[in-house]
């Protein structure tokens, strides 16, 4: 597997004394220092865990928030089962497939699908991003408004290709992939996140192997999110695609999803 990413220095910080003990636990768990020069800081404060770039021109921090902000707005006003991602994974009347999001990132797409009733498993291989996601899920479970959604999301940390190859138990009906790629979304939020995460993650050089592993495991279909004009991933060809303004979903069906 080719996985090229630059070396980045990160320290862990407690934003107030009462968070120092838990911050130290995160530092030990992730193998990160609690002090010293660094380009980024994983910070723990009242609003949870967040990643911040250090320096005078740095954008604000990024955290996973399933309760408020953009995710809440999408949950309430995003179009429900009429959203393109819902159609792509096969959500329809009486059908709520079990979905593995093998490139979970900050979990937004997985949360949308969980909010529509899909049972979700998430895989994130980058430990810092996985930590942000774990913290966001823990806070969501404690919130009465979204707890029922968050409990439908199970997080695994590790290499998705390896985890799919070693899968135990019933396979997911649908596997959803959104490999890191220069997405053309120009929103300020996405620009900030890409600036923070690209030094940690780089581009997915192993997308063909990821697709092959997904096709071997999924029982019903694989869905790959791509920038609208990007080439398909090398390997098997999708049967069809759903296209939006900036993104498209390449669909690799294996078996029809039917009402349970």
Residue 29 assigned as binding residue = no
Residue 226 assigned as binding residue = no
**When comparing pLDDT for 172 and 245, which is higher?**
172
Extract the tokens encoding 39: 């380009």
pLDDT score of 126: 92
The CATH number of whichever domain residue 189 belongs to comes to 3.40.50.150
Same structural domain for residues 214 and 162?
Answer: yes
Reported as a pLDDT band with limits 50, 70 and 90, residue 6 is very low
The structural domain count of the chain equals 2
Q: Directed axis angle between helix 188-201 and helix 127-141, to 10°?
A: 130
Extract the tokens encoding 157: 């940390």
Same structural domain for residues 159 and 217?
Answer: yes
Same structural domain for residues 226 and 152?
Answer: yes
Rg (CA), the chain: 18
Same structural domain for residues 84 and 132?
Answer: yes
Same structural domain for residues 89 and 47?
Answer: no
pLDDT score of 4: 44
Extract the tokens encoding 257: 């999803």
Domain of 206 in residue numbering reads as: 69-253
Reported as a pLDDT band with limits 50, 70 and 90, residue 87 is very high
Q: Is pLDDT at 58 greater than 60 in this prediction?
A: yes
> Is 59 domain-assigned?
no
- The mean of the pLDDT values for the chain is 88
Same structural domain for residues 80 and 162?
Answer: yes
Q: Is pLDDT at 218 greater than 90 in this prediction?
A: yes
Question: Can you give the pTM of this predicted structure?
Answer: 0.89
Q: Is pLDDT at 2 greater than 50 in this prediction?
A: no
pLDDT score of 200: 72
Same structural domain for residues 76 and 173?
Answer: yes
Same structural domain for residues 92 and 193?
Answer: yes
Rounded distance, CA 63 to CA 131, Å? Answer: 10
Extract the tokens encoding 223: 């869905």
pLDDT score of 57: 82
Residue 108 assigned as binding residue = yes
pLDDT score of 71: 72
Average pLDDT on 146-154 reads 95
Residue 124 assigned as binding residue = yes
Q: Is pLDDT at 63 greater than 90 in this prediction?
A: yes
- In which region does residue 178 sit, left (phi positive, over 0), alpha (psi from -120 to 50) or beta (all else)? beta
> Is 60 domain-assigned?
no
Residue 125 assigned as binding residue = yes
Rounded distance, CA 260 to CA 257, Å? Answer: 9
Same structural domain for residues 47 and 101?
Answer: no
């Amino acid at each position: 597997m080719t996985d090229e990413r630059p070396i980045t220095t990160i320290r862990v910080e407690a934003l107030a004394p009462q968070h120092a003990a838990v911050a130290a636990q995160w530092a030990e768990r992730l193998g990160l220092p609690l002090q010293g020069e660094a380009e980024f800081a994983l910070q723990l404060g009242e609003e949870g865990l967040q990643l911040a770039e250090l320096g005078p021109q740095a954008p604000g921090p990024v955290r996973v928030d399933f309760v408020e902000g953009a995710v809440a707005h999408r949950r309430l006003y995003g179009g429900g089962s009429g959203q393109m991602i819902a159609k792509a994974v096969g959500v329809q009347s009486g059908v709520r497939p079990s979905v593995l999001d093998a490139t979970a990132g900050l979990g937004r797409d997985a949360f949308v699908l969980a909010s529509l009733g899909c049972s979700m498993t998430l895989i994130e291989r980058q430990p810092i991003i996985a930590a942000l996601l774990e913290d966001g899920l823990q806070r969501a479970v404690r919130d009465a408004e979204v707890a029922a959604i968050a409990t439908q999301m199970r997080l695994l940390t590790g290499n998705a290709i390896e985890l799919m190859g070693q899968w135990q138990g019933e396979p997911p009906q649908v596997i959803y992939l959104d490999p890191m790629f220069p997405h053309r979304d120009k929103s300020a939020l996405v620009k900030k996140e890409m600036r923070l995460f690209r030094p940690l993650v780089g581009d997915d050089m192993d997308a063909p192997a990821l697709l092959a592993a997904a096709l071997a495991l999924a029982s019903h279909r694989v869905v790959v999110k791509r920038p609208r004009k990007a080439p398909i991933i090398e390997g098997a060809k999708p049967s069809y695609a759903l296209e939006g303004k900036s993104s498209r979903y390449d669909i690799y069906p294996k078996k029809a999803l039917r009402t349970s």
